[in-house]
Structure 1
Amino acid sequence: MLNIMTRPPLGVVRQFSRAVFADRLIGDELMRMTMARVSIDPASSSSSVVDVMSAFLHSWRMALQERPSRPVLFSDAALIDALPAPPDDARLLLLLVDVMGLTPQQAAEVVGVSENPATVLKLAREDLRIDKQARAIVVEDEPLIAADIRGILERLGVEVAGEASSAEEAVKVATRSKPDIILADYNLDGRNTGIDAVVEINESQDCPVVFITGFPDRVLQGDEIEPDFVISKPYTPENVRAAVVHCLDARRA
């Protein structure tokens, strides 16, 4: 994994907030609301990723506790009230370690886990399973990486319904196979990127996408067209498993 401690803290928070819900719009709204409530300055050179992540999660929890019984329509309280329940501490720890790249100790500090984080993480990994049938397509122009991702998915019990090495091919494969989830590289053969493919695919079907990229901050700039869920290269099987299972869980909740 890339060294997350050297990345801009707000980019890390944005990636995590989107990952929690596997949704760009909801994740960005949650980040906007929570970070407006904290006193920490994410741009300060003294603010570490762990500091900013801890402030984000604390602000979210406080907003949940303080929400009124009948929030005003279109208010931040109404947004909080409409969101699904936050994942439990074990799943948050899993996302922070296996998707975001924090160490278990750093993740435990962010979440506030007092138990041995290695034990909590082990149990969370063992609990990763897909209870319903799921179909995936893999969009990757490196054959060895595509084969590796296919193997990870198949061991999870996910059917790989197709593969593509370009954005144009990905659109055709998705139209034909109607996948439940897409795993896509950002940089592909040809002129178009993985995001170009997803934009076109989403015009006809709502399909969650896990982007796998060596440059997460290049695709997490707060622009209109961005991925919902990102993991960094070089990835591990744990990264992909956590991302896929959580993404499907979030979309089916």
Structure 2
Amino acid sequence: MPFRQALAERLPLLRRYARALTGSQRSGDAYVRELLEAAIADPDLRDEIGEGRVALYRAFTRVWAQGHVEAAFSDAPADLSSAETSAQARLDRIPPEHRQALLLTTLEEFNEREAGEILGLEPAEVAALVARAVSEIDEESATQVLIIEDEPLIAMQLEALVADLGHVVVATASTRTQAVEAFSRTAPGLVLADIQLADQSSGIDAIEDILKLASVPVVFVTAYPERLLTGERPEPTYLVTKPFREDTLRAAISQALFFGSTARID
């Protein structure tokens, strides 16, 4: 596949992965930009990226492994938000390969063989890293959760999943107004949000209202990811597409709580 076509089809998902990996939209996008700049200067790298999604993520992993982009952010702490500073401190304590293996096999839905090709590991090694990552993230404390979802069956599914993870659902809302009122009343530690709500109001607007009240981790769970991955405005770090796999959503919730990062769409 030609380089430009490969980028058009795969860049939004790579950006999502980079943000989840770093816990920051700014840092994740900086790594992606570094890869693109390298590809522009290197015809062989452009050809490699055109070979397929595994090759694209493998090339990105090489950039990530060099780490100098992250170092640039560390050199300028005054430019970081409090959430990004917290995320960076947590990143320093968790082995990078653990996070990569978990995200590649859940959020990005690669199988263990493909993830191994990306990371330069055997499938069994990937499986072991995923198990370790899950164990490390599950050590995080439970929190209260607000669910913004207008479809009752999906809301019930989300409630069951959240409870299974050890969290407590303090409220559900199906409109923008309900969501803001519920957040003000319950002050949850995590929000799961759809985009299209019952009265044709927007979950994006609801989250913007909520983030004016307090900083809180947000995971968008939506059938319309293209409304958020436009590149025209700040975008969410954690985004799961409907119909979702439970292990994918579990990983997104754990990552959002672990990094303590907000939706960053204000």
- TM-score, normalised to structure 1, is 0.81
RCO comparison, higher one (Cα < 8 Å, 6+): 1
Tell me whether 1:56 sits opposite 2:60 in the alignment. Answer: yes
Alpha-carbon shift at residue 65 of structure 1 (Å): 9.8
Specify whether residues 27 and 120 from structure 1 end up closer, same or farther in structure 2 by C-alpha distance, changes over 3 A only: closer
CA contact (8 A) 1:35 1:59 kept: no
Task: Report the 3-state secondary structure (helix = DSSP H, G, I; strand = E; otherwise coil) of the residue aligned with 1:36.
Answer: helix
Query: Who is 1:27 aligned against?
Result: 28
Q: Deviations over 1:102-153 (max 9, x none)?
A: 2222222222223513444345445541432311111111111111111111
Task: Report the 3-state secondary structure (helix = DSSP H, G, I; strand = E; otherwise coil) of the residue aligned with 1:191.
Answer: coil
Query: Who is 2:113 aligned against?
Result: 105
- 2:240 aligns with one of 231, 235, 241: 231
Specify whether residues 163 and 71 from structure 1 end up closer, same or farther in structure 2 by C-alpha distance, changes over 3 A only: closer
180-189 or 16-25, larger mean C-alpha shift = 16-25
Query: Who is 1:179 aligned against?
Result: 188
Query: Who is 1:247 aligned against?
Result: 256
Q: Deviations over 1:72-125 (max 9, x none)?
A: 8999xxx9xx94437531321111111122222222222222351344434544
CA contact (8 A) 1:19 1:228 kept: yes
Q: Deviations over 1:184-238 (max 9, x none)?
A: 1122222332111111111121111111122333421212143221112211221
Give, in whole Å, the separation in 2 of the partners of 1:66 and 1:196: 31
Structure 2 letter corresponding to 1:62: Q
Structure 2 letter corresponding to 1:181: L
More helix per residue: 1 or 2?
2
CA contact (8 A) 1:100 1:231 kept: no
Specify whether residues 180 and 22 from structure 1 end up closer, same or farther in structure 2 by C-alpha distance, changes over 3 A only: farther
Specify whether residues 130 and 147 from structure 1 end up closer, same or farther in structure 2 by C-alpha distance, changes over 3 A only: farther
Give, in whole Å, the separation in 2 of the partners of 1:72 and 1:198: 29
Specify whether residues 47 and 174 from structure 1 end up closer, same or farther in structure 2 by C-alpha distance, changes over 3 A only: farther
Task: Report the 3-state secondary structure (helix = DSSP H, G, I; strand = E; otherwise coil) of the residue aligned with 2:13.
Answer: helix
Query: Who is 1:221 aligned against?
Result: 230
Alpha-carbon shift at residue 22 of structure 1 (Å): 3.6
Specify whether residues 130 and 144 from structure 1 end up closer, same or farther in structure 2 by C-alpha distance, changes over 3 A only: farther
CA contact (8 A) 1:50 1:110 kept: yes
Q: What is the aligned length? A: 241
Give percent identity, aligned residues only.
27
- TM-score, normalised to structure 2, is 0.77
CA contact (8 A) 1:94 1:124 kept: yes
**What are structure 2's unaligned runs of at least 5 residues?**
1-5, 262-266
Alpha-carbon shift at residue 158 of structure 1 (Å): 0.7
Alpha-carbon shift at residue 41 of structure 1 (Å): 3.8
165-174 or 119-128, larger mean C-alpha shift = 119-128
CA contact (8 A) 1:185 1:212 kept: yes
* Residue pairs, 1:2-41, within 5 angstroms: 8-38=9-39, 39=42, 40-41=45-46
CA RMSD between the two structures: 3.3
Give, in whole Å, the separation in 1 of the partners of 2:238 and 2:139: 18
Give, in whole Å, the separation in 2 of the partners of 1:215 and 1:195: 11
195-204 or 108-117, larger mean C-alpha shift = 108-117
